[in-house]
Amino acid sequence: MPSPTPRCLHCRYDLSGIVDRCPECGWTIDPEVLYLDDVELIARRLQKPAPPSWWRRLLAAYSALVVAFVVLVILVIAIAIVWMASRGQGV
């Protein structure tokens, strides 16, 4: 259900007749969501999550490298155990 009066998403200032920025807080007005009420805005926000910021991507890349390194170490240890067992040397 559309909101009868367009409001700023940041400060809730009445934006009737204003097209680009909120005069109260300077927030850029998005015409696509200008007349939506709070329930529709929350539903729309829940449907599409915000893209991860640079530090989250960096953390994910670091975590992937750590996991890959641990898997590599486990694989090398397993190969060494199998190789030593095949040569008759006890572990």
CB proximity list for 22: less than 8 A, separation 6 or greater: 8, 10, 11, 13, 15, 29
> Rounded to whole angstroms, how far apart are CA atoms 28 and 22?
7
Query: Global pTM?
Result: 0.40
Q: What is the pLDDT of residue 91?
A: 56
Cα(9)–Cα(30) distance, rounded to whole angstroms? 9
Residue spans per domain, the chain: 1-50, 52-91
Q: How far is CA 37 from CA 23, 40, 49, 65, 87, in A?
A: 20, 6, 19, 44, 74
Q: What is the pLDDT of residues 30-79, one digit of tens each?
A: 777 766 666 676 676 667 666 667 888 888 999 999 999 999 999 999 99
